[in-house]
């Protein structure tokens, strides 16, 4: 009787746990960890958290297999696995909720994943070995998906290993849609097109990412002739029109001349054109007048002001971090590079290899702003590659391919950068320090307790015994045309400045899981920049001269759903510094910049800025200005465009309506309105001049008629008040506050 019962029990177990020894033992690295990752057991909200959960801690998404193996098999006296009876292992009982589990049910009893873990335990829970096949590449199919709204597509992910074997890993892949207004994806890789446009689905498996593009054309009936006859100036227009045609989006008509000159001035030099400049442009009948305008703008002194300020944001020229003399030297170094039109690759190489005196060679201040190898590495990556690698400091990057070892290999390139001398305190010191490179020294990888061999990202390591400046190797790798990130990053930044948003948005987020809206166009811009020796002015010129840039912001029924494919020009609020300068230009009254804010919250007088200094000529972000703070100036604490805010707020509205910035300037006795009234010009000319000053266009007939009627014959005091009201209304209008 007993023998019969035991035999029946064994047969029953055989149904749920097939011969556990018959197949090769599963690999902890390649079979077990992917199960934990897909079930999110090692996610940041569960056991992958820094402190773990319930006393059980795993490395985030399995970045450290050896540590995870020790935790599972040796920690807590090894009670998490039961070699003689896998089904009684906590590793299986908890996620199936056979015993209480705060994380809920993660596995089904008898499922493929359950049996894989059980077979691994029954095989003696073999440890990960150095000779385990390593994941070499990941592929997804279909990679390009053109479908109609409402249709579905099943994705398949395949892994290739170092031993030459391939494997379908769809079941253990984590899928995410980059634009859920276009497509959604379930945990099994089934995609449903729910909207119109183009998005992507990212597939993550064992720290590698692949992408499938999902396209659902808009249901607009647009004749082919619209795209065939659309004006083209260069390769940009061809590639944008190809995308619009594929998506069924009609391009908006060209912008009018008044809109275009204002747009080009603001985007290129950060300044409004004067009334005379606008009138001259409008009266010019030459077919090449816009090209001539572009050439003129690219060679104006204000171009140097504007782009020095833009790069000062990227490289953190900040009086809260540097002494005054060092700030001035750092700013002047950048300004000289812009004025000389130094190629971007040369500028990058000179910056990352800088050494010497911080007041004689301003570039060395990059290594004062970033004073430890980790911060240097993170900010070089962010500034020149638009890659945020900071997450990999503690674990493998959860959204990217960068590993913890790669992070410390990259940071170790800066471990021998040293500095001596600080030049006194923040208030009285001159900020002079000397940057040099030591011949010895390494950064320790905390996970291993040993130095990580220094290496650029995705590049061979340097011998730790090499006593040369490791940054020279970094500079060569960084600026190489073969570097897949360097040229894309700067091309995308420049494009975003002129077009309102990047091909990759945001411009600081150039990860593989954030694909561009037009890959072919980004690649073409990259090729153009390489062919032209990283001459940024040439890149700017080709963007400015494109018909895509010159398109109006008019919203058509056939492109109202477009948010990122450039069927029309996208309006955006002027950046804080440009807006403050524009108000000063219109009213002819400028702010004085006389104080800087120190890190402790106190202020210090500065004699750097003469009366008449423009906001775009300020050396650093520590200059005290309530207006700039209110309108979202970049604080330059970290290398990220997210430091700048263009979001509207109630405080901004109140500041424009009732604050001193506009009202006091308009009422200023020596200001613009006094100058205009003293010229005793006819009322019609007065109204036109105010419009040209503020909006860079003449008033419409409707606007002109109503205002002339109001002003004509009015007593001097009433006339002045009326003109003040007119200027206030124009300066607080969306047409003035926005680039369009």
**Is the pLDDT confidence value at 475 over 80?**
yes
Query: What average pLDDT does this structure show over 119-142?
Result: 93
* pLDDT on residue 1: 44
Residue 359: closest CA among 386, 322, 388, 393: 322
Which CATH architecture fits 135-216?
A: Sandwich (2.60)
* pLDDT on residue 257: 97
* pLDDT on residue 426: 44
Query: What average pLDDT does this structure show over 542-563?
Result: 97
* pLDDT on residue 621: 85
Report how far apart, in Å, the C-alpha atoms of 309 and of each of 334, 362, 380, 575, 615 are.
9, 15, 18, 12, 9
Least reliable range by pLDDT among 358-367, 414-423, 464-473, 511-520: 414-423
Six-digit token pair at 294?
A: 């572009």
* pLDDT on residue 193: 96
Percent of the chain with pLDDT over 70: 94
**Is the pLDDT confidence value at 602 over 80?**
no
Tens digits of residue pLDDT in 682-734 = 999 999 999 999 999 999 999 888 888 888 878 888 889 999 999 999 999 99
Residue 397: which pLDDT band, with cuts at 50, 70 and 90?
Answer: low
Torsions phi, psi for 184 (to 5 deg): -115, 155
Tens digits of residue pLDDT in 443-473 = 888 888 888 999 898 888 888 888 889 999 9
The distance in angstroms from the start CA to the end CA of the chain is 89
- What is the phi-psi region of residue 55: left when phi exceeds 0, alpha when psi lies from -120 to 50, beta otherwise? left
Torsions phi, psi for 570 (to 5 deg): -95, 125
Of 45 and 697, more confident: 697
* pLDDT on residue 364: 92
* pLDDT on residue 523: 97
d(CA 498, CA 523): 18
* pLDDT on residue 177: 95
Quote the crossing angle between the two packed helices 324-339 and 301-314, to the nearest 10°: 120
**Is the pLDDT confidence value at 49 over 90?**
no
Tens digits of residue pLDDT in 79-97 = 889 988 998 988 999 889 8
Secondary-structure percent of the chain, ordered helix, strand, coil, rounded to 5: 45, 10, 45
**Is the pLDDT confidence value at 371 over 60?**
yes
Q: What's the mean pLDDT when you consider all of the chain?
A: 89
* pLDDT on residue 8: 39
* pLDDT on residue 522: 97
Least reliable range by pLDDT among 194-198, 482-486, 530-534: 482-486
Annotated domain spans of the chain: 11-122, 135-216, 235-299+496-544, 343-478, 663-739
Tens digits of residue pLDDT in 305-351 = 999 999 999 998 988 888 888 889 999 999 999 999 999 999 999 99
Query: What average pLDDT does this structure show over 655-671?
Result: 87
**Is the pLDDT confidence value at 174 over 90?**
yes
* pLDDT on residue 399: 61
């Amino acid at each position: 009787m007993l023998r019969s019962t035991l035999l029946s029990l064994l047969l029953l177990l055989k149904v749920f746990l097939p011969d556990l020894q018959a197949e090769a033992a599963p690999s902890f690295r390649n079979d077990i960890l992917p199960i934990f990752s897909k079930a999110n057991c090692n996610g940041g909200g569960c056991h992958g958290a820094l402190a773990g959960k319930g006393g059980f801690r795993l490395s985030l998404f399995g970045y450290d297999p050896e540590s995870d193996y020790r935790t599972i098999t040796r920690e807590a006296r090894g009670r998490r696995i039961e070699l003689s009876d896998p089904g009684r292992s906590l590793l299986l009982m908890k996620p199936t909720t056979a015993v209480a589990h705060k994380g809920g049910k993660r596995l089904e009893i008898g499922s493929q994943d359950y049996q894989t873990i059980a077979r691994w335990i029954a095989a003696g829970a073999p440890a990960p070995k150095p000779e385990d096949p390593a994941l070499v590449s990941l592929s997804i199919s279909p990679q390009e998906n053109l479908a109609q709204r409402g249709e579905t597509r099943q994705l398949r992910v395949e892994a290739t290993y170092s031993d030459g074997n391939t494997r379908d890993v769809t079941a253990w892949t984590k899928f995410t849609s980059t634009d859920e207004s276009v497509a959604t994806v379930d945990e099994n890789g089934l995609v449903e097109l729910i909207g119109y446009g183009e998005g992507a689905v990212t597939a993550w498996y064992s720290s590698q990412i692949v992408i499938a593009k999902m396209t659902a054309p808009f249901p607009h009936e647009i004749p082919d002739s619209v795209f065939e006859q659309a004006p083209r100036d260069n390769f940009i227009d061809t590639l944008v029109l190809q995308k619009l045609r594929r998506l069924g989006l009609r391009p908006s008509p060209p912008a009018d001349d008044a809109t275009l000159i204002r747009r080009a001035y603001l985007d290129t030099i950060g300044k409004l054109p004067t009334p005379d400049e606008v009138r001259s442009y409008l009266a010019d009948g030459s077919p090449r007048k816009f090209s001539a305008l572009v050439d003129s703008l690219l060679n104006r002194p204000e171009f140097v002001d504007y782009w020095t300020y833009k790069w000062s944001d990227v490289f953190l020229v900040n009086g809260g971090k540097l002494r005054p003399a060092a700030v001035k030297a750092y700013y002047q170094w950048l300004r000289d590079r812009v004025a000389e039109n130094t190629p971007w690759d040369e500028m990058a190489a000179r910056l990352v290899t800088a050494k010497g005196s911080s007041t004689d060679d301003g570039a060395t201040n990059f290594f004062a702003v970033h004073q430890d190898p980790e911060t240097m590495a993170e900010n070089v990556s962010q500034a020149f590659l638009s890659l945020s690698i900071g997450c990999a400091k503690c674990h493998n990057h959860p959204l990217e391919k960068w590993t913890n070892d790669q992070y410390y290999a990259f940071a170790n390139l800066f471990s021998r950068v040293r500095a001596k001398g600080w030049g006194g305190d923040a208030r009285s010191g001159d900020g002079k320090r000397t940057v040099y490179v030591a011949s010895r020294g390494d950064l320790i990888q905390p996970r291993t307790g040993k130095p990580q061999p220094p290496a650029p990202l995705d590049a061979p390591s340097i011998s730790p015994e090499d006593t040369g400046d490791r940054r020279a190797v970094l500079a060569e790798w960084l600026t190489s045309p073969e570097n897949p990130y360097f040229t894309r990053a700067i091309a995308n930044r420049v494009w975003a400045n002129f077009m309102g948003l990047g091909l990759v948005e945001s411009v600081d987020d150039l990860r593989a899981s954030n694909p561009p809206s037009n890959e072919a166009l980004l690649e073409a811009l990259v090729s153009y920049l390489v062919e032209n020796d990283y001459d940024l002015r040439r890149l700017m010129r080709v963007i400015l001269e494109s018909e895509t840039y010159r398109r109006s912001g008019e919203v058509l029924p056939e492109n109202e759903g477009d948010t990122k494919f450039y069927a029309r020009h996208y309006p955006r609020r002027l950046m804080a510094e440009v807006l403050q300068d524009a108000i000063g230009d219109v009213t002819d009254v400028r702010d004085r910049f006389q104080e800087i804010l120190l890190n402790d919250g106190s202020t210090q007088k500065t004699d750097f800025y003469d009366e008449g200094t423009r906001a775009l000529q300020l050396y650093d972000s520590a200059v005290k200005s309530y207006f700039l703070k209110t309108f979202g100036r970049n604080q330059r604490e970290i290398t990220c465009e997210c430091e700048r805010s263009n979001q509207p707020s109630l405080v901004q509205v109140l500041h424009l309506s009732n604050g001193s910035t506009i009202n006091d300037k308009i009422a200023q006795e020596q200001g613009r309105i006094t100058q205009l009234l003293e010229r005793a010009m006819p009322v019609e000319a007065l109204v036109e001049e105010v419009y040209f000053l503020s909006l860079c266009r003449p008033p419409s007939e409707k606007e002109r008629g109503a205002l002339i009627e109001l002003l004509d014959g009015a007593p001097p005091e009433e006339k002045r008040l009326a003109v003040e009201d007119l200027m206030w209304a124009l300066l607080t209008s969306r047409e003035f506050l926005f680039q369009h």
